[in-house]
Amino acid sequence: MKNNLLLIINSDDFGINNSVNKAIVSCFESGIISSATLMANMPGFEDAVNYTHTNPILKNKIGLHMNLTEGKPLTDLIKKCDRFCNKDGYLIYDRKKPVFFLNAQEQKAIYTEIKAQIAKLIEYNIYPTHLDSHHHVHTEFGIVRPYLEAAKESGITKMRLSKNIGNISYAKKVYKNIFNFYLHGIKKIATTGFFCSANEFRQLMDKNGVIPGSSYEVMVHAKINAEGKLIDIDNSDIKNKIDPILASFNPVSYFELKRN
């Protein structure tokens, strides 16, 4: 790896719809990304599975994008939890209120849903390289406990940190540091040392702030705009954004990540 750095560039939302799937696969083929996380309960799931099994470049590069905030869940118990689902059975949790504690029913419901999402990938012969979550919901302390339990039972030991680079308030920085220490230091989960967006990593590069010998995950959300161009979540050209990173670093997937 260039500059003695382990770098993962992950595109979230694989499986959310067929258009995003096409964008993500195009990014893999162009070398823009080295990893993606798949949503088990969204309309583009089977299309994403087909890409995964027919395109060798995706082998050992797909994790689970655990979803508790959008679409319909895979299990019924969570539909009885008003905090997470509406009366029509759709996921509605928006993270406006933090979740520090879950009651017994909610804990069981969250655990059951996460297990089902992991199991669905495995059922389709995709063993997740790692776990993260839609809208970073796994970084809520109340949710991370059943999340870790489901992961452990499925033999998954690699996960995404809470974002620890960028413009973060002091209170959020304290929370994130505690959460990340809990995940990596106490629960012994394999994580990168740092996690941020592509823009934040570019800013770090500009300031010569990238730490040699460390590990970073850079998050993107590959999409195709109305003109057919590949863009990131901020509507910027994703290739132009990532190319300066690729000039200095060779990205890998979570499959290559070891716990340190």
pLDDT digits 0-9 by tens, 135-188: 999 999 999 999 999 999 999 999 999 999 999 999 999 999 999 999 999 999
Backbone phi, then psi, for 159, in 5-degree steps?
Answer: -145, 165
Which pLDDT score, from 0 to 100, does residue 77 have? 97
Q: What is the CATH number of domain 2-68+100-256?
A: 3.20.20.370
Which pLDDT score, from 0 to 100, does residue 3 have? 62
How far, in Å, CA of 89 to CA of 106, rounded?
A: 15
E strand or H helix that includes residue 215: strand 215-220
- Tokens 């083929």 belong to which residue? 29
Check: CB of residue 167 under 8 Å from CB of residue 196: no
Which pLDDT score, from 0 to 100, does residue 2 have? 57
Q: How far is CA 248 from the centre of its chain?
A: 23
Q: Tokens at residue 105, please?
A: 């029913």
The model's pTM: 0.96
C-alpha separations of 114 from 42, 83, 209 in Å: 14, 16, 36
Which pLDDT score, from 0 to 100, does residue 215 have? 97
Low-confidence residues in the chain, pLDDT < 50: 1
Which pLDDT score, from 0 to 100, does residue 259 have? 77
- How many Cα atoms are found within 13 Å in the side-chain-facing hemisphere of 166? 17
